[in-house]
Structure 1
């Protein structure tokens, strides 16, 4: 379905062309003075020089030509040469009814692409903390938006499960439980199906081992040796590693589920390891990789760089691989398995140089076809009210499950303080509303910018917050329930300013969605639904919807607000949360 702004621009362009001017001059924008008009066109100003005419003379001609239009009305030529006009009410009603019956609210679907989004990145054996929040929330929303646009999107958690951290865990476990069968290198039987530790023990083992390695050289050496043995596929150590993965992934899935974040793949760094030897050899064969200070590196700097871009280290002097190596091998793996048109990395913006190097090596080595897009979507820091990275009251990094708990408790307290609900219902609603507070609080900010995580503000039922959006949806649900009849389908011609403003805002969905999809910008959807919610509430306060005596008008109102609810619910689904039945 064609966007409304495109239709209006074509209508104005036709008028310019009919008057002997270029139709391109008819580009229309939403008015920056809504008190004067709904739309404007400045084409006469642009055409004045080319046609050697005063701009107001061109505007007068075009305005006269538009008097018979069925799309726009109240066309006015305003000196020095602006065209101001409104949308015809009947045309607006016909457009929104067409939008209502079309697929996906009338968005234009482009040719579908296969897209991989890397938006997880947690390390196994460690709990999720607030540092994982933005990647999960932004990545999940971008995935949903791109899927809604018709693409095949594959979300990958890309777990950190390789390297010294595994050796540290195995070595500490051996010290604590030396009699475990995994450490008997003469054992040839089957290993137990159950892990010899719980997730709580595992989460305590790693920081303990890490701390030991910093002060105990002998322990650090044993951990290094254990890492080498694991990577050389020692049977017992591999079995422990598999236990670590199983226990960790189950816990990660549980915690991501609380955020309504879901991955299609739980790929790991270790999955990319088999691709490294051939990739390294290929870099050497192509003359891209060379030895520098003992390390194998690839030069990636370009003459046009405005800041230094160091060589990308592929292997350290001891032959060990690095994150760059693993990320390059993962690109090789993704190309082999999926042949994606795009790979998007939703990661901390402080990793930009890392991905600049990785992408440039990928291009130089032709790891993916030339037209495959490798894109870095860097996000800013989540800060506390002091402007510093968000921490617990004790100054430590907050676990994600504790943050979710605190938000849910804050919402629960507000529900119980102002409403008469039983505790069980209040708790369930607090989870739904709390998730909206967390996600909307994050997503309403441009991803690349830092933002302040303010629990009090995010959980407010008023203002630009998730709970306010949900309250608006629930208010509409309540009206529809009180209506108590089958919901009418036809939206009627607006008969008031507030009603028309709401309808005009609803027609903007396709435009806003197109921008959010093209720019990976969930914050644009947030801004849109905040405007839409405000327009609905203004209409609600100025209109007697259920008390309207004219039955045709009432049915038109009900059809309108029902469709408004549909658009709002579509948007919050794309943002990654849902509305309760009542609040």
Structure 2
């Protein structure tokens, strides 16, 4: 289904051509002055330079050709040459009616179905999720849903950190605590226990203790390095321990990600890329892509057009060890072999921008992927406290993600209980749904690259630009529809068209609906969930203004009442579709 702007541009393009001007100047935009008009075309200004005429003269001749009163209620020229457009109510309602009858409300899917991998999550084994993991998970999940909605084959990969020094630290600390475990006996040849020798709680205490010890005890740190090397070299007992660490950690991570309604198609790990490293390194050396610099193996990725310094991408350290660079490049090799993606998107802290620039360039230069493979780095900013510093607990520590979720849910629960109409059990259930919307919307409504302040009072407010406000709007519509069904069961069962608007709030609500396809498309093209947030807020505001000016259930004109009902059904459907793409849902009651 064509976007409303495309339909308008077709008509204005024809008018430009009939007036003797190039149709490329017929671009239409939503007006940034809704008090003056609804849409506008500003092409007369750049056209004036080509045709050596006044913009007003060009615009006037174009407007003379736009005589279709079924489309244009008003169309006029404003100095120096703006073409201001107000649409006819019948044209607007006709388009809205088409939306309600089309699958996905008339959203056109992408013409070419792509294979897309989104790398988000990035949790580390044996460590609890904390607030630093929040943005990657929330932004990545929303982008994945948007890409899927546009018709692509999308794979979300958690890409767990499971192969670095933290494994050696845990193994070494565990060896000091329980030296008699069979995993540490190099002569043990039997079957290792199927039960892990620790719980997730114990594991999460072991790692920070080991990490702290490594900073003051060089002997311990050296032992951890040796343990890491032996694990990566295939020591049987350590590999069995690593498997226990992995299983216990992943089970806990899945619970926490499920609580966020964040899901992954692949639970890949750094270790999965290790088998690809030897052949990849050998290939790079053989093809002449590498050179030796101070004993390290590197690939030069700087280009002549660079205005800033881009260091070489190190593949192997001078001591023969691999790096994150090596693992990430091998992961690209693995993804190419297993999935052959057209596009790989990384949702990572924006401070990693230079690092990923090196990785992408290295992968392209060494032809690990072909020229058509696209890489995108989505760098996100920091979630800060009210003091402007990275969000911490009251005692200055890094807050666990589950504690943050609990605090949000508790704040929403307390607000619900202030006007208690539900049972406590129902209030708790609703608080979890609304709390998740507060958390996700509070994050996603900001442009990803920007830092933002986590303000629990503002995020959980039922007024203003918040998740709870959006949900409250949807619940309000559900309540109206339920009452309508009870009072007018016969009318509720009938299909109805949406009539042309009779009042300004009604038309403004329809005009917001017209933006839907364009907003989804731009959110996809820019990989920008904040575009969706801005739209659902505007749509919710337009509905609430319409609601306050229109007594739907008391409307005496039955046909007009049915039109109102069908209109708000469409509003509800689009709001629900948008919040699903953002990663949350609405309850039936609030």
TM-score by length of 1: 0.98
Task: Give yes or no for the alignment of 1:571 onto 2:578.
Answer: yes
- Structure 1 counterpart of 2:85: 85
Greater shift in the superposed pair: 388-397 or 84-93 = 84-93
Structure-2 change in CA distance of 1:496 and 1:191 (3 Å): same
- Structure 1 counterpart of 2:293: 292
> Which SS does the other structure have where 1:196 is aligned?
coil
Note the C-alpha offset of 1:349: 0.4
Selected match of 2:565 from 538, 558, 561: 558
Greater shift in the superposed pair: 186-195 or 468-477 = 186-195
- Structure 1 counterpart of 2:252: 251
Note the C-alpha offset of 1:515: 0.7
Note the C-alpha offset of 1:52: 4.5
Note the C-alpha offset of 1:191: 1.7
Structure-2 change in CA distance of 1:365 and 1:550 (3 Å): same
Note the C-alpha offset of 1:491: 1.6
Maintained 8 Å contact 1:93/1:491: yes
- Structure 2 counterpart of 1:361: 362
Note the C-alpha offset of 1:85: 2.2
Note the C-alpha offset of 1:291: 1.9
Superimposed CA distance per residue, residues 425-451 of structure 1 (whole angstroms, 9 cap, x where no aligned partner): 111111100000000000000001111
Superimposed CA distance per residue, residues 314-339 of structure 1 (whole angstroms, 9 cap, x where no aligned partner): 11122111111100000000000000
- Structure 2 counterpart of 1:106: 106
Structure-2 change in CA distance of 1:216 and 1:554 (3 Å): same
Greater shift in the superposed pair: 282-291 or 46-55 = 46-55
- Structure 2 counterpart of 1:46: 46
Structure 2 CA distance, aligned partners of 1:43 and 1:122?
49
Task: Give yes or no for the alignment of 1:518 onto 2:519.
Answer: no
Maintained 8 Å contact 1:135/1:346: yes
Structure 1 CA distance, aligned partners of 2:211 and 2:60?
76
Structure 1 CA distance, aligned partners of 2:80 and 2:312?
57
Note the C-alpha offset of 1:551: 0.2
Maintained 8 Å contact 1:8/1:72: no
Structure-2 change in CA distance of 1:552 and 1:306 (3 Å): same
Structure 1 residue runs without a partner (length 5+): none
- Structure 2 counterpart of 1:494: 501
- Please show how residues 215-230 of structure 1 align to structure 2 within 5 Å: 215-230=216-231
- Please show how residues 202-351 of structure 1 align to structure 2 within 5 Å: 202-351=203-352
- Structure 2 counterpart of 1:62: 62
- Structure 2 counterpart of 1:21: 21
Structure-2 change in CA distance of 1:184 and 1:509 (3 Å): same
- Structure 2 counterpart of 1:144: 145
Maintained 8 Å contact 1:384/1:454: yes
Greater shift in the superposed pair: 208-217 or 134-143 = 208-217
Structure-2 change in CA distance of 1:407 and 1:185 (3 Å): same
Note the C-alpha offset of 1:43: 3.0
- Structure 2 counterpart of 1:377: 378
- Please give the root-mean-square deviation of Cα atoms over the aligned residues, in Å: 1.3
Maintained 8 Å contact 1:67/1:73: no
Note the C-alpha offset of 1:53: 4.0
Structure-2 change in CA distance of 1:321 and 1:7 (3 Å): same
Structure 1 CA distance, aligned partners of 2:43 and 2:361?
43
Structure 2 CA distance, aligned partners of 1:357 and 1:59?
49
Greater shift in the superposed pair: 404-413 or 170-179 = 170-179
Structure 2 CA distance, aligned partners of 1:510 and 1:294?
55
Maintained 8 Å contact 1:67/1:75: no
> Which SS does the other structure have where 1:215 is aligned?
coil
Note the C-alpha offset of 1:69: 4.2
Maintained 8 Å contact 1:146/1:153: yes
- Structure 2 counterpart of 1:545: 552
Note the C-alpha offset of 1:70: 2.6
Greater shift in the superposed pair: 107-116 or 529-538 = 107-116
Selected match of 1:527 from 534, 550, 560: 534
Structure-2 change in CA distance of 1:134 and 1:549 (3 Å): same
> Which SS does the other structure have where 2:116 is aligned?
strand
Structure 1 CA distance, aligned partners of 2:308 and 2:516?
40
Structure 2 CA distance, aligned partners of 1:17 and 1:81?
17
Greater shift in the superposed pair: 285-294 or 562-571 = 285-294
- Structure 2 counterpart of 1:132: 133
Note the C-alpha offset of 1:299: 1.5
- Structure 2 counterpart of 1:473: 474
Structure 2 CA distance, aligned partners of 1:44 and 1:206?
66
Structure-2 change in CA distance of 1:544 and 1:243 (3 Å): same
Greater shift in the superposed pair: 209-218 or 15-24 = 15-24
Greater shift in the superposed pair: 174-183 or 56-65 = 56-65
Superimposed CA distance per residue, residues 132-172 of structure 1 (whole angstroms, 9 cap, x where no aligned partner): 00000000000000000000000000000002211111111
Note the C-alpha offset of 1:57: 3.4
Note the C-alpha offset of 1:91: 1.4
Structure 1 CA distance, aligned partners of 2:296 and 2:79?
69
Note the C-alpha offset of 1:79: 3.7
Pairs aligned (count): 583
Superimposed CA distance per residue, residues 340-368 of structure 1 (whole angstroms, 9 cap, x where no aligned partner): 00000000000111111111110111000
